[in-house]
Structure 1
Amino acid sequence: MHTKITILSFVLFAMVSCKNESKKEETQTWRTKKEALENETHNQLLDVEKEQGWELLFDGKTLNGWHLYNNPGVNSVWEVVDGELHSNANDESLTAGDLLTDKPYTNYELTLEWKISSRGNSGIFINVQEKPEIPTAWQTGPEYQILDSEHMDYNLPEKRPGCLYVFAPQKNAVEMKPGEWNTTRIKQVDGKVEFYLNGVLTGEQDFNDPEWKKMIAATHFSKYPEFGKATQGKIALQYWYFETWFRDIKIRELQTL
């Protein structure tokens, strides 16, 4: 009888210990994830990023460093909400247009995160030439495509997210994450550009290559004489009637030989 009680006690102790250990492990996992989310920071630079020459293009609080293309100082669709740069597509009293950096860039690496509403369309224009006689940013600046997976153009090869819009399909296949944050990286050195979406190389083009002129001539952009000519210029975020969110916009200028 004593032996049976001892065995039963041992089994019960082992079961309770395993349960407590499992609960402890789950609690630690939950706490780790919870703490990570609570301590998640955005629109800030790490010390190592500062050492590497990175600068914030968006401070998470204001539109400092940005203005509406050809229309600075107006009450535009662009606003800052909860540390995110948001395009407000719900208030028709606001002035619509693309948001442009105050400063032009030549050789640089740009990173940012973006999220877009269902069926939404947007983009990032580079090498934009802001001139009163040119009404829109896209008439000079080639576009890094941003598109929601529910958009009717999503499965068109030359209009997929991360593409050099209209000119080439994704160099390597990758999906955008619907309803979630996606990561973009754009690198340009001496007119040679690389596009990345969620860590995958999606586009490459040398804007100094004579072939680039032929590519432009084969599209509707041939109607716009300034399109794709520059290898330096401002960076613009496209507004296209749908809500889009941006954060962690960082840039570092690159030195070349």
Structure 2
Amino acid sequence: MPKFKTITITRSNKAGEEYSEKFETHVDPDGYFYTAPSEEVLEAAHSLTMRHAAYLKTPRRNARCRLVCPTYEGLEETLKEAIDEMLAVEVITERVIVYARQADVSVWQDKDGSLHANGYVGNDRREEGGGWYDAGAGIHASNKPKFFSIGLTACVLDKITYRRPNSQRVEFEQPEWGHHHLDYPTWGAKLNGFVVGLPDKPEKLESMPYTEEAAKFFYDALIGIASMGIRLHEFFADEARVQRAIEHGGMPLMAQAGGSQDG
């Protein structure tokens, strides 16, 4: 579309920070005025578009998003207000522990807490109050896991909130510890020393404020999960040990294999 005018906007905030940018404007076939500002300005404008009947529009795939307004004056005012909002951002940083768990198991649980392969094993287990244990894994006859598994992951992140008068955005970043990356003077640094990742989108996971006590708790919990995995692996890797457990009528020998080396 033909270029209409260039809007030059310079704004500053109470802290003396200044922002200046030139915006090329165009007119679309419907007579609406538009410009394609930076992502930063678009984000700030997102909560302001209704004030001047402005709106955001992406004309085609992979094209830059446009800020569109019925009037040239409305477009200019929206840009000014967006930059004012962008300059007014308050940045809040909180150190948090983000964690997630999984339990890919499928068992029938009686109302007394006893567990069975399904509701028909042994006596009729379909009494009132019993049911399938649901850990949110969505396991059923048409969605069988290859293994029963449990999992836990946790790490320390900095939660950064960009708060504006009409909106806010949250990001997570790896924390700066202020020491050599191979030193582990805090429980938080030790917790982040595990070779384990986090699921995508940490903002959707459980979180709590960071304390040394909380970091130690999750560190010990992950050591416990690792110890359980070692015992399980070593127990079933030894056929003689499995046979002895069968002959003795249970699994107690499994607890004797492996174990944490941290004391």
What is the TM-score of this pair, normalised by structure 1?
Answer: 0.18
Bigger Rg over Cα: 2
What is the TM-score of this pair, normalised by structure 2?
Answer: 0.17
Higher RCO structure, 1 or 2 (CA under 8 Å, sep 6+): 1
